[in-house]
Amino acid sequence: MINAAIIGYGYWGPNLVRNFSEHAAASVAAICDSDASRLKAAKARHPAVRVAADAGDVLHDDAIELVAIATPVQTHYRLAREALLAGKHVLLEKPMTASVAQAEKLVNLAEKTGRLLFVDHTYVFTGAVKHMKEMVASGAIGDMYYFDSVRVNLGLFQRDVNVLWDLAPHDFSILDHLIGEQPAAVSAIGAARVHPELEEVAYITVRFRSGLIAHFHVNWMSPVKIRRTILGGSRKMVVFDELSPDEKIKVYDKGVSLSLQKASRDRVHHCIVQYRIGDMYSPRIDSSEALKTEVDHIVACIEGRGKPLASGAAGLRVVRLLEAAAKSLKKGGRFVTL
């Protein structure tokens, strides 16, 4: 039985507590939060679980093997570092840290201490992203041309980070998981209309040396909620609509190709665009709760039955994209080389 402690009982913490509590090979030994009202709510819902206001009370408890940290990003490095030094495995909420330097230090510390460092890139464990990964890996999509993502809604406005750091980690983690190539450069533009220092809308472009281009639109001020990703390939095109109740993935046998035709008289070559319009189908997608699947995976890794899918290294790659995009945002959209 793996004893876990959850630090942070705000928005995501209760979901972590529920999933670890319901797992057959795990239990929640402690819940920690500096807010007294949240601790009261946690105790009312989980009367058998110890609650604590001081993170030190659980970080140095020898009975606890795993610490899940769901606190503001500015606290991630300090708490994760202390947990790793205390010999705990660590699960960090996204984004992993507030800087690349912090993420690199945690990855190195986890390796040095022999502990596992997980990052809560929940989308990696969804049935839809798993299916897209299989299509990319098998070559069913063909050569990747573009990755296009829209994640917009009205709120929730954050007080400590802008929309880039709040929403983009989801889609950056999907991109990182699907594409086995490291990005070459990042550009971002945005606007801060409500808070003078925190952008509420941003557009990010990521370029790869292979020619692949990825584009992201994140927005807290949209009148509608959209969660959509499009993969464009030479063989197939895929649309992932998270909000669709029964067709989250649609695969289109559509595309374009170029052919050369040589004129007989002047021997001039003409480039002809040919369109391929085929069928569309919606495959059956595993509807299991992503966080439940993730907790299963974490337990298996701690028991020695696998390697972290969303590891500290994956978290570092996402933070590297975020930091580069943030730099570009401040430079008016100039590309930042990675």
Give the pLDDT confidence score for residue 133 in this predicted structure.
98
Ranges of CATH 3.40.50.720 domains, the chain? 2-120
Give the pLDDT confidence score for residue 276 in this predicted structure.
78
Give me the CATH code for the 124-287+319-337 domain, please.
Answer: 3.30.360.10
Q: Where are the beta strands (DSSP E) in 21-84?
A: 26-32, 50-52, 66-69
Q: How far is CA 294 from CA 80, 92, 283, 328, in A?
A: 19, 13, 22, 33
Give the pLDDT confidence score for residue 227 in this predicted structure.
98
Domain 2-120, CATH number (from 3.30.420.40, 1.10.3720.10, 3.50.50.100, 3.40.50.720): 3.40.50.720
Give the pLDDT confidence score for residue 275 in this predicted structure.
79
Residues of the chain scoring pLDDT < 50: none
Give the pLDDT confidence score for residue 255 in this predicted structure.
78
User: Model pTM?
Assistant: 0.94
Ranges of CATH 3.30.360.10 domains, the chain? 124-287+319-337
Give the pLDDT confidence score for residue 278 in this predicted structure.
86
Show Cβ contacts of residue 269 under 8 Å, excluding neighbours closer than 6 positions.
260, 261, 262, 263
Both tokens of residue 318? 């996402």
End-to-end alpha carbon distance in the chain? 42
Give the pLDDT confidence score for residue 273 in this predicted structure.
72
Q: Cβ distance 232 to 145 under 8 Å?
A: yes
Give the pLDDT confidence score for residue 268 in this predicted structure.
52
Q: What does the DSSP assignment read for 110-136? A: HHHHT--EEE--GGGGSHHHHHHHHHH
- How far, in Å, CA of 257 to CA of 331, rounded? 37
Q: Cβ distance 79 to 59 under 8 Å?
A: yes
